[in-house]
């Protein structure tokens, strides 16, 4: 066989796998492992959503849908954008894909030519750089620290923008940091991107998981110029606890979505049919369940932050969105992989090493777990840190 695809060959295998398999082994050996490594909500999908999918199956909704998704779902998403995000996207400007991850992969493939640069604020969600590489692009990282509140500024963009810079990824609220930008900060970042003709890929998957009375604002909603220059990505996984259903969606300029449709028609045909009928029910009837889940996450957020921030040597930015905290543990002198491995081996507590997100000073704790597990886990973490 001749040489494999260069883009694929450049992908790094997941660095978190080693920790995950070690944790699994421990559970198999009968140990109780406090698991803060999950990347998904712990709640079951709300019943109304499940029932809608079951009904769809029973009604024989088991064939291909149009490439961009069931027209009724695209219309419901168009209504959602108007209502939640003050955005006017026609159904023809929306495409449903097989998860937000799939949406983003298609976005980069649609957008990039070989050598195009994409600005990625770090810490970043671990798939962005690899998706950009697969699409032939070059990720350019903007590093931020806990002291900077894990936020980039317009000056960062000014410094790194070149004639090859095609796009910037904005993920607010963020996985892994739980940090979100204020509307004024987002606007300033967008203005700078516009000035350099850099498209904005806005990953708004955690839009509804926001706390302290904050309101997530969509990048595309600031002005016509922003709207024309932004690709908005969202999905059902996190908001409705539907990770296994595999449904995400993209909205943007008509010609962009048309090109994405052509790509999706050849690599997925369309997303799962009965899952889409569940998604329609999520949009129509899921709001109260979302409120309940977000309230539970909020209570856990307060507790985990309070306990983690009180541990000597840990530096913690209080998260205002998503369901993660991202403490800086660099004062203990271990890299994030060693810290995470030892924490698992010595205290049976699983976290994700920050190196996976381009931040070797930190570890990611997800609070998609019960309150008693949070209490137990923070006791273990405190004991471990005291020992170092």
Ligand X SMILES: *Cc1c(COP(=O)(O)O)cnc(C)c1O
What is the binding site for ligand X (CB under 6 A)? 99-101, 125, 171, 175, 203, 205, 235, 237-238, 243, 248
Nearer to ligand X, 235 or 354 (CB): 235
- Least distance CB 100 / ligand X (angstroms): 3
Nearer to ligand X, 106 or 296 (CB): 106
Neighbouring-strand partners of residue 250: 95, 233
Q: How many other C-beta atoms can be found within 10 angstroms of the C-beta atom of residue 149?
A: 13
- Least distance CB 163 / ligand X (angstroms): 28
Nearer to ligand X, 248 or 278 (CB): 248
Residue 21's alpha-carbon distances to 113, 304, 344, 350, in angstroms, are: 36, 25, 11, 11
- Least distance CB 375 / ligand X (angstroms): 25
Residue 271's alpha-carbon distances to 39, 99, 214, in angstroms, are: 22, 9, 32
- Least distance CB 225 / ligand X (angstroms): 25
- Least distance CB 168 / ligand X (angstroms): 15
Q: Distance between CA atoms of 199 and 219, rounded to whole angstroms?
A: 11
* DSSP character string of 76-118: HHHHHHHHHH-----GGGEEEESSHHHHHHHHHHHH--TT-EE
- Least distance CB 166 / ligand X (angstroms): 19
Nearer to ligand X, 208 or 238 (CB): 238
Length of the chain: 388
Starting at the edge strand found earlier in the chain, the sheet holding 363-366 runs 324-325, 363-366, 352-353
- Least distance CB 235 / ligand X (angstroms): 4
Nearer to ligand X, 41 or 347 (CB): 41
Nearer to ligand X, 150 or 384 (CB): 150
What phi-psi label fits residue 354: left (phi over 0), alpha (psi between -120 and 50 degrees) or beta? alpha
Nearer to ligand X, 39 or 137 (CB): 39
- Least distance CB 38 / ligand X (angstroms): 11
Beta-strand pair 324-325/349-350: unpaired
Element (H, E) at 316: none
Q: How many other C-beta atoms can be found within 10 angstroms of the C-beta atom of residue 328?
A: 20
Angle, CA of 351, 352 and 353, to the nearest 5°: 115
- Least distance CB 204 / ligand X (angstroms): 9
Angle, CA of 176, 180 and 185, to the nearest 5°: 135
Q: Distance between CA atoms of 66 and 270, rounded to whole angstroms?
A: 6
- Least distance CB 233 / ligand X (angstroms): 7
Contact (CB, 8 A) for 68 and 98: no
Nearer to ligand X, 237 or 250 (CB): 237
Q: Distance between CA atoms of 210 and 190, rounded to whole angstroms?
A: 21
Nearer to ligand X, 175 or 218 (CB): 175
Burial letters for 97-124: b for 16+ Cβ neighbours within 10 Å, e otherwise?
Answer: bbbbbbbbbbbbbbbbeeebbbbbbbbb
Contact (CB, 8 A) for 312 and 286: no
Contact (CB, 8 A) for 143 and 16: no
Q: Residue for token digits 């029932």?
A: 51
Nearer to ligand X, 110 or 175 (CB): 175
């Amino acid at each position: 066989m001749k040489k494999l695809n260069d883009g694929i060959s450049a992908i790094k295998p997941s660095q978190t796998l080693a920790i995950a398999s070690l944790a699994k082994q421990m559970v198999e050996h009968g140990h109780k492992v406090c698991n803060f490594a999950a990347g998904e909500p712990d709640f079951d999908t709300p019943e109304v959503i499940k029932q809608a999918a079951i009904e769809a199956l029973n009604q024989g909704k088991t064939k291909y849908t149009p490439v961009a998704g069931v027209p009724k779902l695209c219309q419901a998403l168009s209504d959602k954008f108007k209502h939640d995000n003050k955005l006017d996207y026609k159904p023809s400007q929306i495409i449903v894909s097989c998860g937000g991850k799939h949406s983003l992969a298609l976005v980069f493939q649609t957008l990039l030519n070989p050598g195009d640069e994409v600005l990625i604020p770090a810490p970043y969600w671990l798939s962005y750089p690899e998706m950009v590489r697969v699409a032939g692009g070059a990720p350019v990282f903007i590093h931020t620290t806990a002291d900077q509140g894990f936020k980039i500024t317009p000056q960062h963009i000014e410094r790194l923008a070149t004639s090859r810079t095609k796009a910037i990824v904005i993920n607010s609220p963020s996985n892994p940091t739980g940090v979100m930008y204020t509307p004024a900060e987002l606007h300033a970042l967008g203005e700078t991107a516009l000035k350099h003709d850099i498209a904005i890929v806005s990953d708004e998957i955690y839009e509804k998981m926001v706390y302290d009375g904050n309101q997530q604002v969509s990048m595309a909603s600031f002005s016509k110029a922003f709207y024309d220059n932004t690709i908005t990505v969202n999905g059902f996984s996190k908001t409705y606890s539907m990770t296994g259903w595999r449904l995400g969606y993209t909205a943007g300029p008509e010609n962009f979505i048309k090109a994405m449709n052509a790509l999706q028609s050849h690599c997925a045909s369309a997303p799962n049919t009965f899952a889409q009928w569940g998604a329609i029910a999520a949009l129509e009837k899921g709001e109260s369940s979302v409120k309940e889940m977000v309230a539970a996450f909020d209570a856990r957020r307060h507790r985990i932050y309070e306990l983690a921030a009180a541990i000597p040597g840990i530096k913690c930015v209080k998260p205002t969105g998503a369901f993660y905290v991202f403490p800086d543990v660099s004062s203990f002198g271990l890299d994030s992989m060693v810290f995470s491995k030892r924490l698992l081996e010595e205290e049976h507590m699983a976290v994700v090493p920050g190196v996976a997100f381009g931040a070797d000073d930190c570890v990611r704790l997800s609070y998609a777990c019960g309150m008693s597990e949070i209490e137990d886990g923070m006791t273990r973490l405190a004991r471990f840190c005291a020992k170092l």
